[in-house]
């Protein structure tokens, strides 16, 4: 399902003076780069795209973008083409859209020989309109709304993952039974246990940093074989770009070096779930002055009135926007009491049992959203939380009182949906989601969630046979 990239189908002229484009041209001319990956991010947060040969790149083959089939923004996890997507279906003929490189995102990938990668925005070829359901476009629109409100959002992502003894191929041959973890006891902060997989973690830290995805820390997490990486905070769009490249690159690095790795939210019900925590703060539009702290606000910990409203919005609409935070059936199996994954929508100061954890002091004050899992699509999750936060400011929402103590036993508070079907019902009734994203985006991602749920419901699982084969 490939098409030739026609340079004559011009949509608009790229900037030949962009320093990263000039840098890439120089790297290609002197032979240091022979392959350029042009990538978009699909609904599931995966990178999709094409590899461009170096000489073809210099000849201008992507001066006006790369063609890709519209179905890439309307598939399920198996790349099937479900019904129900208005923008792409058999009746539309599954034509082409344009992936137009965003040269600011260009990175040389040290884990692939002579290879660079550039992320792209997606456009309609006829009128050069951005495709509204594209994850990066969805986030860009929320960033623009924040700028109109005089706010820049900065953020940093944390990802937890499991290192596996079984490769993906071995897991497939075993019928996707529970894989073997690299480790056999809880390695949270445990230096000795972490050392056993340090050859992989060292590659992730250093090669990602070399690729302009600055890693600050890696550490053992709260289960055998589980690890966490902290990515340096930046403007939220840059942080989302880093997040999707990190997950993709980590899988490539692991595979190419003989390791297994997974960002699945809950690989087994006996394992600790893997998170994708977001650390978020609001700044002035220049990004020079944080707006989170106001010593004379009269609010706890000197949180500013505006930031308190932003956090109140995040809390008020997390349940309705859960499909954009926890997109898969498996995502909701991570939400378990006393599991290090939160369940209740409460906030606390440096409290890991709450869904929202206020951390930092003075100008560094910010909020950690602990609800997303390692399987999140960072563009969608950040977009949902910015949209919710801005709505909190618009509505001048009051931040509820801090919850002190064990957030798992909080009473009389909202909690995240217990399953994807519950999240679907919340999104179906949510006017806030329509106001934030637009009806077209909500309908598109509702359809994707319904397809995922219906697929799961139609499959007979090992659990069914264990429970019912003999005793039913």
CATH 3.10.20.70, the chain: domain bounds: 19-131
pLDDT at 368: 98
**Domain covering 19-131: architecture:** Roll (3.10)
Inter-residue contact 355 to 344 (CB < 8 Å): yes
Q: What is the pLDDT of residue 13?
A: 42
In angstroms, the CA 50 to CA 156 distance is 28
Band the pLDDT of 80: cuts 50, 70, 90: very high
Query: 11-15, 57-61, 134-138, 141-145: which range is least confident on average?
Result: 11-15
pTM: 0.94
CATH number belonging to the domain at 142-465, selected among 3.40.50.150, 1.10.10.1100, 1.10.287.1400, 3.30.590.10: 3.30.590.10
Give the separation between CA 142 and CA 313, rounded to whole angstroms. Answer: 14
Query: Tell me: the pLDDT tens digits for 333-354?
Result: 999 988 889 999 999 999 999 9
Q: Stretch 163-192: mean pLDDT, rounded? A: 90
Q: Residue 167's pLDDT is what?
A: 86
For the cut 50, the answer to whether the pLDDT of residue 10 exceeds it is no
Phi and psi at residue 205, in whole multiples of 5°?
-60, -50
Cα–Cα dist 399/300, whole Å: 10
- DSSP codes of every residue in 49-106: EEEEEHHHHHTTTTTT-EEEEGGGGS--TT----S--SSSSTTTT--EEEEEE-GGG-
| DSSP codes of every residue in 411-460 | -SS-B--SSHHHHHHHHHT-HHHHHHH-HHHHHHHHHHHHHHHHHHHHSP
pLDDT in tens, 29-47: 999 999 999 999 999 999 9
Which part of the chain is CATH 3.30.590.10? 142-465
DSSP 130: B
């Amino acid at each position: 399902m490939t098409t030739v990239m026609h340079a004559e189908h011009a949509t608009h002229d790229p900037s030949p003076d962009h320093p990263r484009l000039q840098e890439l041209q120089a790297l290609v001319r002197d032979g240091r780069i022979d392959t350029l990956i042009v990538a978009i991010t699909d609904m599931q947060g995966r990178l999709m795209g094409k590899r461009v040969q170096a000489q073809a790149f210099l000849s201008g083959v992507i001066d006006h973008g790369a063609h890709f089939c519209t179905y890439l923004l309307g598939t399920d996890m198996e790349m099937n083409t479900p019904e129900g997507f208005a923008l792409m279906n058999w009746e539309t003929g599954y034509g082409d859209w344009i992936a137009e490189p965003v040269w600011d995102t260009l990175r040389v990938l040290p884990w692939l020989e002579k290879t660079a990668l550039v992320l792209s925005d997606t456009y309609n070829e006829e009128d050069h309109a951005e495709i509204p359901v594209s994850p990066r476009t969805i986030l860009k629109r929320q960033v623009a709304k924040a700028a109109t409100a005089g706010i820049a959002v900065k953020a940093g992502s944390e990802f937890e993952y499991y290192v596996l003894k079984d490769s993906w191929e071995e897991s497939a041959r075993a019928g996707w039974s529970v894989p073997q973890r690299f480790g056999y006891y809880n390695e949270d902060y445990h230096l000795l246990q972490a050392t056993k997989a340090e050859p992989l973690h060292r590659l992730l830290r250093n090669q990602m940093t070399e690729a302009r995805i600055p890693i600050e820390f890696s550490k053992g997490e709260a289960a055998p074989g589980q690890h966490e990486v902290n990515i340096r905070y930046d403007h939220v769009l840059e942080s989302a770009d880093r997040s999707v490249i990190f997950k993709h690159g980590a899988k490539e690095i692991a595979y190419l070096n003989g390791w297994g790795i997974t960002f699945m939210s809950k690989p087994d019900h006996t394992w600790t779930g893997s998170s994708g925590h977001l650390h978020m703060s609001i700044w002035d539009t220049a990004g020079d002055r944080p707006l989170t702290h106001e010593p004379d606000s009269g609010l706890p910990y000197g949180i500013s009135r505006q930031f308190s409203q932003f956090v109140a919005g995040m809390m008020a609409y997390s349940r309705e926007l859960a499909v954009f935070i926890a997109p898969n059936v498996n995502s909701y199996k991570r939400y378990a009491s006393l599991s290090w994954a939160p369940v209740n929508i409460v906030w606390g100061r440096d409290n890991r049992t709450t869904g929202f954890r206020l951390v930092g002091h003075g100008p560094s004050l910010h909020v950690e959203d602990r609800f997303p899992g390692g399987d999140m699509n960072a563009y969608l999750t950040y977009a949902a939380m910015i949209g919710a936060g801005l709505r909190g400011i618009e509505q001048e929402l009051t931040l509820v009182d801090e919850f002190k103590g064990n957030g798992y036993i909080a009473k009389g508070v909202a909690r995240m949906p217990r399953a994807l079907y519950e999240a679907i019902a919340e999104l179906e009734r949510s006017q806030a989601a329509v106001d934030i994203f637009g009806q077209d985006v909500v309908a598109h991602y509702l359809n994707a969630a319904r397809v995922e749920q219906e697929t799961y419901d139609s499959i007979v699982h090992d659990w069914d046979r264990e429970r019912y084969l003999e005793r039913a």
